[in-house]
Structure 1
Amino acid sequence: MEKELKYVDMVEQPISMHPKKFALWLFMVSVVMVFAGLTSAYIVRQAEGNWLEYELPSIFWVTSGIAVASSLTLHWAYFSAKKDNFLNLKIGMLLTVLLGIAFLVGQWYSWVAMVDRDVFFVGNPSGSFLYVFTGLHAAHLISGVIFLIIVLISTLKLKVHSKAMDTMEMATTYWHFLGGLWLYLFMFLLLNH
């Protein structure tokens, strides 16, 4: 009896993603669209004239360094979670939360510096744009810090480890996104103010 060989076409598996990760990516795309629209509006309005020239607060350099440092500490925590190194994971998460809070404090002091230079939210559009950029970013950063605190609590309860990385991956993605967004805004303001 001769066996007949049958060829079965491989059924392609759809690309799947955790629904919460997909929602996060959609949210980040919408944030990119908002800031792309705002930066475009900034350029168009600046070209119309009547634009107040002012020096950006020097604390923006500090907050940019904090943003980079917090991404590094979070990435260290991420790799520690993948290796089940719980001590480094906890330290990395705690440092990242503290750096995130330090960034927010730095943004507050940038507003204080702007007021000291007589640049206000109401008045010339150049100042208004700065407050909108930094205020919207700070609002997203607050949500990021809350997310980091939730992940920190999960790490303290040993719920984040090499077999349970979903929330850690989402927090890392979102935090790196926020850091990159800040660096983009800062460079944009340096080049276009």
Structure 2
Amino acid sequence: MNASTVLTTSAVADRHSRGANAGIGLWVFMGVATTLFLLFITAYVMRMNASDWSAIAMPWQLWVSTALLLAGSVLLQQASKAAQGLHWGQAGSLLLAGGACAWVFLGVQLWAWQALYAQHVMPAGNPAASFFYLLTALHGLHVAGGLVAWGVITHDFWRRPDPVRDAWRMALCARYWHFLLAVWALLFATLGGLTPEVVRFICGPA
């Protein structure tokens, strides 16, 4: 085994080590973020029994948001698989498409907010509306943070390609998008389907 082979093997091992460490860091971050969302949802449920609570109708745009986030999650998973299979052209196209879905997701979320504003559903005055804006904004910030990472991955993929690094980066990006989708599904179900009657049925009378 010559020196160049040793160097190459060492570099590959280093990249795999970085990927493993980044994966652990992402799991920790997702655990913390999940706890944060669950705390807000718990507060939402506890607040529902107040006399000033007035449920709001979910704007239809949220269904479009859900479809976009689902599509982005699937596309990024396929991008990760393509990268692992060394199909770099396909991986790059899927990576771009997945990120585009996330950008459109944020635009549709703003559209949903505008639709509520047009119906005079404001953040202040109704706790249900306040929680809606708070929770969707918090989730949107997590999507925006994911897009920052996606931008770095996409830039490096096209400008400074590295097969090992790009493969584990795309895998982590896909994992984070699955997390965003799961959180959004929980939020959507909570905001759109949970009512004081349902809470009392599940938890019993206060």
Question: What is the identity, as a one-letter code, of the residue corresponding to 2:99?
Answer: V
Matched with 1:3 is none
| Gap regions ≥5 residues in structure 2 | 1-16, 196-206
Which of 28, 35, 57 does residue 55 from structure 1 map onto? 57
Once the two structures are superposed, the pairs formed by residues 129-148 of structure 1 within 5 Å of their partners are 129-148=131-150
Per-residue CA deviation, residues 98-155 of structure 1 (Å, 9 max, x unaligned), is 1010000011111101111211111111100000010000001001111111111122
TM-score under structure 2 length normalisation: 0.81
Kept after mapping to 2: 8 A contact 1:81/1:160: no
Q: Which has the larger radius of gyration?
A: 1
Structure 1 residue aligned with 2:181:
179
Residues 160, 168 of structure 1: 8 Å contact kept: no
Query: What is residue 158 of structure 2 aligned with on the other side?
Result: 156
SS in 2 for 1:47: coil
Unaligned runs of 5+ in 1: 1-15
Identity of aligned residues (%): 26
Alignment size in residue pairs: 177
Counterpart-to-counterpart distance in 2, 1:157 and 1:74: 19
- Provide, for residues 17-76 of structure 1, a one-character-per-residue CA deviation record: whole Å limited to 9, x for no partner: 833222221111111111101111111100122212221110000000001111111111
1:102 maps to which residue? 104
2:84 to 82, 90, 99: 82
Larger RCO (CA under 8 A, 6+ residues apart)? 2
Indicate conservation of the 8 Å contact 1:89/1:155, yes or no. no
**Runs ≥4 residues deviating over 6 A:** none
**Partner amino acid for 2:52?**
N
- Relative to total residues, which structure has the larger helix share, 1 or 2? 2
